Amino acid sequence: MDALDPDDIVHLDPKEPFWERFYMVAPLIVVGTKNEDDTHNLAPKHMAAPMGWDDYFGFVCTPRHKTYRNAVRTGVYTVSYPKPSQVVLASLAASPRDTAADGPRSKPALDQLPLRAAETVDGAFLDDAYLFLECALERHVDDLGENSLLIGTVEAVHVDKTALRVSDEDEADAIRDAPLLAYLPPDRYATITQTNAFPFPVGFEK
CB 60 within 8 A of CB 48: yes
- Given a cut of 70, whether residue 99 has pLDDT beyond it is no
Label residue 101 by pLDDT band (50, 70, 90). very low
Nearest CA to 123 out of 95, 94, 155, 87 is that of 155
Label residue 64 by pLDDT band (50, 70, 90). very high
Compute the distance between CA of residue 153 and CA of residue 134 in angstroms, rounded to an integer: 8
Domain limits, the chain: 24-97+106-162+176-192
- Given a cut of 90, whether residue 166 has pLDDT beyond it is no
Residue 100 is predicted with a pLDDT of: 54
**Helix or strand or coil: residue 137?**
strand
Compute the distance between CA of residue 113 and CA of residue 90 in angstroms, rounded to an integer: 9
Compute the distance between CA of residue 33 and CA of residue 66 in angstroms, rounded to an integer: 8
The mean pLDDT value for 74-94 works out to 95
Q: What is the mean pLDDT of the chain?
A: 91
Pairing of strands 76-81, 131-144: antiparallel
Residue 204 is predicted with a pLDDT of: 84
**Helix or strand or coil: residue 68?**
helix
Amino acid residing at 152 = G
**Helix or strand or coil: residue 166?**
coil
CATH placement of domain 24-97+106-162+176-192: 2.30.110.10
Q: List, for residues 180-196, the tens digit of each pLDDT value.
A: 999 999 999 999 999 99
Q: List, for residues 2-57, the tens digit of each pLDDT value.
A: 777 777 889 999 999 999 999 999 999 999 999 999 999 999 999 999 999 999 99
- Given a cut of 90, whether residue 105 has pLDDT beyond it is no
Lowest mean pLDDT among 123-132, 167-176, 181-190: 167-176
Burial 84-116 (b: 16+ CB within 10 A, else e): bebbebbebbeeeeeeeeeeeeebebbeebebb
Lowest mean pLDDT among 104-108, 161-165, 184-188: 104-108
Residue 108 is predicted with a pLDDT of: 67
The pTM is what?
0.91
Of residues 150 and 109, more confidence is placed in 150
Compute the distance between CA of residue 112 and CA of residue 128 in angstroms, rounded to an integer: 14
Label residue 206 by pLDDT band (50, 70, 90). confident
